[in-house]
Amino acid sequence: MLFENASQFQKAKQVLLENDRDIDKTARILKKSPMFSEISEGELICQLAELNEGLGDTIMNFLSGAFGGDVSKLKTVLTQMKEQELKYNREEYQIYDEFYNLLQDQKALDKDRENPNYQSLSRDIQQGRNALNLRFKELTKTHNEILSAFEQRVRDLTKDSNRKKKYFNAQRAVDVEETRSDRYEKTKAITARSVNRTKDLEDFFSVNLDDLKKESEEAKRKAEYEVEKLKRTTTTGSDPRVEDDPEKEYRKRFDLIKSTEAKYLTRRKAIFDLETEIYNIMMKNNSTITKENPHGDLGEENRSKLYDLYNEIEKYLEELGEKEKVKS
């Protein structure tokens, strides 16, 4: 059994996540708590390792439940994208392996330049290398086309829901962390067999091992950020109707305020509060804008509709004020 009771489990999970899933650090912190005093450090580390291993599934199951709705299609696309990237890594590794074998063949042939078939054998090796280069380019091109198709599918599936977008982004980031790490480790392993292999790889395929390491590290940081952002979303208790279509819900409130009988100051305060709330939403969204996400978490359509509504409310406030002046 994973921990003795639910309280231990929840506490362990919380501390593990707060400490970037560092098992040893988490164990040291938990051992200071009376709740875990009866568990040996070795047993605690083992149970934390099991808990940590299951967190990937926990993110998928818990967050899909927390956001509600049908996410089975998104799960399928996520699985297909991850499998495609791992497949690419395997085929890329195979190409590199064949490439290094050809280099070894050339080195062996160079030791026997008196061989009457030297020229023809050298041409065969060069043609083999060129074929591998072409194969690598085709592999990369096909891989990118497949991922582009998946990304379009994701846009179609999430266009009506920011909740689904955040769910997808978090799980996708976790998957990319794994696939980028897998690619880096495979490339590092095959280049480690010779001091010249890293340079040969970069010269022939324009693949830099240091760049792959940076991509892997960046993927890890992004995964931590996206998961943390999603956790904050699930614990704030935000209204999903507002999150999915904020303009629609705010417009309902705007129309209700306009149609309700009220004194000028009461109506003005209600409109002003609504305007301020929309303004805060837009400012918060601006902080999420990046080069890859130019419209922020709201998305292009929701952002545009909110700006239009905000301007409409400002105009209404001005007209309301003018009417009050006329009355007085």
pLDDT band (50, 70, 90) for residue 20: low
Residue 299 has pLDDT above 50, yes or no: yes
pLDDT band (50, 70, 90) for residue 224: confident
Residue 328's pLDDT is 65
Arithmetic mean of pLDDT, 2-30: 76
The alpha carbon of 295 is separated from its chain's Cα centroid by a whole number of angstroms, namely 17
Which carries the bigger pLDDT value, residue 42 or residue 104? 104
Least confident of 198-212, 249-263, 281-295: 281-295
Residue 47 has pLDDT above 90, yes or no: no
pLDDT band (50, 70, 90) for residue 63: very low
pLDDT winner (highest mean) among 69-78, 89-98, 191-200, 230-239: 89-98
Distance CA 179, CA 175 (A): 6
pLDDT band (50, 70, 90) for residue 62: very low
Q: Which of 320, 200, 223 is closest to 21 using CA atoms?
A: 223
Residue 240 has pLDDT above 50, yes or no: no
Residue 70's pLDDT is 47
Residue 55's pLDDT is 58
Which carries the bigger pLDDT value, residue 118 or residue 160? 118
pLDDT winner (highest mean) among 5-9, 35-39, 42-46: 35-39
What DSSP designation does 160 have?
T
Helix (H) or strand (E) holding 264: helix 264-286
pLDDT band (50, 70, 90) for residue 68: very low
Q: Are 16 and 49 in contact (CB under 8 A)?
A: no
SS (H, E, C) 267-306: HHHHHHHHHHHHHHHHHHHHCCCCCCCCCCCCCHHHHHHH
Residue 233 has pLDDT above 80, yes or no: no
Which carries the bigger pLDDT value, residue 146 or residue 261? 146
Which carries the bigger pLDDT value, residue 129 or residue 234? 129
pLDDT tens digits along 71-92? 678 888 899 999 999 999 999 9
Q: What is the mean pLDDT of the chain?
A: 82
Q: Which of 158, 129, 145, 162 is closest to 298 using CA atoms?
A: 162
Query: What residue ranges do the domains of the chain occupy?
Result: 6-67, 72-236, 245-327
pTM > 0.75: yes or no: no
